[in-house]
Chain A
Amino acid sequence: MSFEPKIVAFLCNWCAYAGADLAGTSRLQYPANIVPIRVMCSGRVDPEFILEAFRKGADGVFIGGCHPGDCHYVSGNYKARKRVEMMKKLLKEMGINPRRLRLEWVSATEGQKFADVVSQFVEEIKELGPSPWREKK
């Protein structure tokens, strides 16, 4: 059986979640490997959540926020970006390919972009194979 990755997506309420809704309204198909969790802002995504997801056996973590300058909460997305950069380094140290963590800017009008980046991300994780932490679970 082919490898079906498990991916958690943290989507900010104002941009990425609305973009994902628009992908739905427009009936744009994308792989079901990704399961959304709505947060108010990408800046809410605690590094702890990302670690916890990998610890629980996720093969990838996706964070969707507003475009730079468009954050509903002024600057939460910039904080998310900094944290993701830091987390990528940390994950590498811990033996997890940093490509397994992806931050994307998706606005409320970008249903197509949401479907596209999610599909790409799922493909990428498929290439990377199961997370090395899956067995440790």
Chain B
Amino acid sequence: MARRIGVFVCHCGINIAGTVDVERVARELEKQPGVVFATTYQYMCSDPGQNLIKQKIEEENLDAVVVAACSPAMHEETFRGVCREYFNEYRCEMANIREQCSWVHDGEEATEKAIKIVKATVEKLRDNEDLMPILVPVEKKCLIIGGGIAGIQAALDIADAGYKVILVEKEPSIGGRMAQLSETFPTLDCSQCILTPKMVAVARHPNIKLLTYSEVLEISGFVGNFHVKILKKPRYVDEDACTVCGDCEEVCPVIVANEFEMERKPRKAIYIPFPQAVPSTYTLDREACLGLAPLTCSQCKEVCEANAIDYDMQPKIIEEDVGAIIVATGYDLYDKNKLVEYGYGEDDDIITSLEFERMLSASGPTGGKIIKPSTGKEPKKVVFIQCAGSRDKQHMPYCSSICCMYTAKHALLYKHHVPDGEAYIFYIDIRATGKGYEEFIERVMEEERINYIRGKVAKIYRDGDKIVVCGVDTLTGRKVEVQADLVVLAMAIVGKEEAVKIAKKLKVAVDDGNFFKESHPKLKPVEALTRGIYFAGCAQAPKDIPSAVAQASAAASKVLSIFSKDKLEKDPLIAVVDEEHCSACGICVSVCPYGAMMKMENGKARCIEALCEGCGTCAAACPSSNIEMRNYKDEQIVKMVEVVI
């Protein structure tokens, strides 16, 4: 039976109607066979807009609807919901005449193109089948990648709600960057003091399985039903048996740089990255150890009274089924050696902000004393340089968001440590948008008498004992030259290098800064484009601690909403084999990335519904055209092609 199609063209205020002649689109579409009604409206997604569709479905006896408006990524759900009250939701399609037409074109041609897009959508809709979602069970367990503050917060939220969490951390301890910080702005709370209770809570939570020194190897599946393989690297120390007495560390003859201390402090080959590490255990760094196979030293094992050291520990592959994944892989600092044009490079007295954090920390390399690394003396003049690599088209074009604040904190703490010292801050703008941030900046500027110089640094070079920092104060137009003892660079924040690998495993996108791409920059800031995957913390963009914590809780609430159901709806847009005409060549079986095409006893293929993801590779490969994609059938696409040309 021929469909009675209604076409609803949205003005989207002037977003569409400002460019596209929406009335003409409606009039042209009315001429299409099967289209019995077409109209336009100011905002189709508004309540009156939705009511208009309902009213016309009833009045005009419509049994299918095309909404010509924004991208289906925005409102397909909205309009399918409207239609669901009357007929199968797959009788509703959206024609994207905003993102891919009115916003990118002008004038007459925009209207022409809009007409083509809507016509093509009508053609597709004509042959859409009524479909019901496929119901799949949900594995109510969440994988969280990264054990910094964001991963920790999300893990605790989900575990407290009664669901199992697998928290995977690459390093020997959870805690992430926050564990490295001294004090936090603007309250000057001790970072570790507020973090460690949460770390301990993670370790003790019965619903959290903590896998430190571990990496995610493989991820497959889909929302509700992901399968992950995790590599647990051997730490050669039994986590449960180790009493952290430190005897092993004492006798270990190998000294290397401690990564946790930004390599400003040594550690042994057998080490605990910092005293409050969770899990509280030593780790033997295989790379640094004198040799395990054959065993060369073995002094640590000899002194270990708890008998916790096991040189034969093997890497373990752990497999888990999870229903949702939160990515909280955090950030790195941009490589300061890349800022060659300023002459930053390698110089002991030019350090990064994180190195300065460790210097300020009582447990850090200097025991909380601020020193000039090359001489060990107290620096009397310190220059802080903001936007080192940020807001710079040669490097990272974006604002790293937290540097203005922590630099103010650094300068303040410096003045408290060295009251007779001078601190200079080179800045482009001061961005202090958080709660209490502006007040903090004001306090630093006025009470602490820090010299804020508005301008970028032009050059840095060593002159004997000093480092000369040259720049222009753009407020006075004068050249500035500071003979500094110590220079601290507020380096740009970039996503982890490993994020790129993890993104590939998850089949999600990262941007140029290695930050994960969210589904919508405003309305879906924690969701990946792929359902069931969420982001938290600096993995998604540079942010401060409260924002990371808030985003982690947001991601956790998204996961909990998935876990609140026993079954999830899966898109029924899958492949169907015409088994009668299938020539049993087996090509579809070999091209399917999901193993969803099964060869039956008679050699013919059959699609396993639960496994099919609907990519359509099999349909394109089938030499006898006997595989159809539901609602993306060959003849639907061919008809669309015909209309758009």
* A interface residue numbers (CB < 8 A to B): 6, 8, 14-15, 18, 20-25, 27-32, 35-41, 43-49, 52-53, 56-58, 69-76, 79, 83, 107-109, 115
Contact = CB atoms under 8 A, between A and B. Distances in A.
A52 to B, nearest CB: 5
Contacts of B100: 20-21, 23-24, 36
A32 B613 CA distance: 32
Interface in B500-542: 503-504, 507, 509-512, 517, 521, 529-530
B134 interface: no
A69 B116 CA distance: 33
Contacts of B71: 21, 24
B637 A69 contact: no
B407 to A, nearest CB: 29
11 contacts: A21-B96, A21-B100, A29-B104, A32-B113, A36-B96, A38-B96, A40-B615, A44-B620, A53-B645, A108-B529, A109-B509
Nearest to B640: A37
A37 B113 CA distance: 12
A40 B620 contact: no
B140 to A, nearest CB: 24
B625 A48 contact: yes
B246 to A, nearest CB: 44
A108 to B, nearest CB: 5
A74 B555 CA distance: 25
Contacts of B641: 8, 37, 49, 52-53, 56, 58
A57 B645 contact: yes
Given A24-B71, A44-B616, A73-B617, A58 B504 contact: no
Contacts of A74: 507, 593-594
B267 interface: no
Given A32-B109, A40-B616, A40-B632, A24 B638 contact: no
A18 B617 contact: no
Given A37-B120, A37-B637, A108-B529, A24 B98 contact: yes
Contacts of A23: 99-100, 104
A72 B112 CA distance: 32
Contacts of A14: 507, 529-530
Given A21-B96, A24-B99, A76-B615, 17 more contacts: A6-B645, A21-B100, A23-B99, A23-B104, A24-B100, A25-B99, A30-B105, A32-B112, A41-B615, A43-B615, A46-B634, A69-B504, A72-B529, A73-B593, A73-B594, A79-B621, A83-B620
Contact of A109 (B73, B120, B511, B615): B511
B305 interface: no
Contact of B106 (A24, A29, A46): A29
B608 interface: no
B457 interface: no
B571 to A, nearest CB: 9
B529 A45 contact: no
Q: Which 7 A-B pairs have the closest CB atoms?
A: A24-B99, A44-B616, A73-B615, A74-B593, A43-B617, A41-B615, A35-B644
Nearest to B112: A32
Contact of A18 (B529, B594, B637, B642): B529
A35 B117 contact: yes
B110 interface: yes
Given A8-B644, A69-B504, A115 B616 contact: no
B104 A76 contact: no
Contacts of B101: 24, 32
Interface string B62-106: 000000000111000000000000000000000010111101111
Contact of B620 (A35, A43, A57): A43
B629 interface: yes
Contacts of A41: 615-617
A25 B593 contact: no
Interface of B: 71-73, 96, 98-101, 103-106, 109-110, 112-113, 116-117, 120, 503-504, 507, 509-512, 517, 521, 529-530, 573, 591, 593-594, 613-617, 619-621, 625, 629, 632, 634, 637-638, 640-642, 644-645
Contacts of B637: 37, 39, 46, 49
B510 to A, nearest CB: 8
Contact of B509 (A37, A52, A83, A107): A107
A71 B616 CA distance: 13
B569 to A, nearest CB: 17
Nearest to B511: A109
B341 to A, nearest CB: 25
A69 B502 CA distance: 11
Nearest to A67: B509
Nearest to B105: A32
A131 to B, nearest CB: 10
A58 to B, nearest CB: 5
A44 B629 contact: yes
Contacts of A20: 99-100
B645 A56 contact: yes
Most chain A CB within a 10 A radius of its CB, from B96, B103, B617: B617
Given A25-B99, A41-B615, A49-B641, A18 B73 contact: yes
B104 A70 contact: no
Nearest to B513: A109
B93 to A, nearest CB: 10
Given A35-B120, A36-B100, A56-B642, A108 B517 contact: yes
A5 B512 CA distance: 33
Contacts of A75: 593, 617
Most chain A CB within a 10 A radius of its CB, from B105, B509, B593: B509
B110 A32 contact: yes
Nearest to A45: B620
Contacts of A27: 103-104
Most chain A CB within a 10 A radius of its CB, from B116, B503, B641: B641
B507 A72 contact: yes
Contacts of B511: 109
Contacts of B640: 37
A8 B117 CA distance: 11
Nearest to B644: A35
Contacts of B112: 32
Contacts of A28: 104
A135 B512 CA distance: 45
A33 to B, nearest CB: 8
A39 to B, nearest CB: 7
Contacts of B106: 29
B617 A76 contact: yes
A24 B102 CA distance: 8
B189 to A, nearest CB: 35
Contacts of A45: 620
Nearest to A24: B99
A104 B614 CA distance: 22
Most chain B CB within a 10 A radius of its CB, from A21, A30, A45, A115: A21
Given A49-B637, A56-B645, A76-B593, A39 B616 contact: yes
